[in-house]
Chain A
Amino acid sequence: RKEVEQDPGPFNVPEGATVAFNCTYSNSASQSFFWYRQDCRKEPKLLMSVYSSGNEDGRFTAQLNRASQYISLLIRDSKLSDSATYLCVVNGENNRLAFGKGNQVVVIP
């Protein structure tokens, strides 16, 4: 099983709609969880850390489910500018960060 798995999509989302996707991880001892955003051919940038109790940042909500070993990201009221690839990042088996391949989101006018 891969350390971090994501459905690459693309997730085609009408502007103003809500989109959500999950990321599963294999290391039950993982303690660090992040969502990064990557625009085409640019560097990844931190979108938000994911905390045990879940957290929200504006239109973005992240959740952690330790029992099922997944984290989720929900984007409400999608904007055209939300079109990007969202990378799930978890500290893996060797305690180094493992990156998922990303969920590609395309917001359609």
Chain B
Amino acid sequence: EAQVTQNPRYLITVTGKKLTVTCSQNMNHEYMSWYRQDPGLGLRQIYYSMNVEVTDKGDVPEGYKVSRKEKRNFPLILESPSPNQTSLYFCASSVLAGGTDTQYFGPGTRLTVL
């Protein structure tokens, strides 16, 4: 089944404790990205990647890191999480490297930072 998977789906952590949210797609998509969704603010892009070893900042990159060592995986790293990073996170992928075609979203990761 073609899909985007994320893990964990739910996470409660404490300020400063490094964490990684994994994202994997099995559709051989070129483009992958991370979004966060907050009430009243909609979906905002954190980072995106047009290909292996090619990543770039989105609209709200502060406090996050990403890597794209393999085409299928695009982990999101929070080196020192803070409470303002409490949010619902979505990973997405799309066929075209430009990322302006249909986005396929993972199921989301609900993160709470205490």
Contacts and interface: CB of A to CB of B under 8 A. Distances in A.
Interface of A: 31-32, 34, 36, 41-46, 49, 87, 89, 91, 95-97, 99-102
Interface of B: 35, 40-45, 48, 58, 88, 90, 98-103, 105-108, 110
A43 B107 contact: yes
B102 A46 contact: yes
Given A44-B90, A97-B100, 9 more contacts: A31-B100, A34-B102, A41-B108, A43-B90, A44-B105, A49-B102, A87-B43, A95-B98, A101-B41
- Chain B interface secondary structure, helix, strand, loop or mixed? loop
Contacts of B110: 41
Residue among B42, B58, B106, B107 having the largest count of chain A Cβ atoms under 10 Å: B42
Contacts of B88: 41
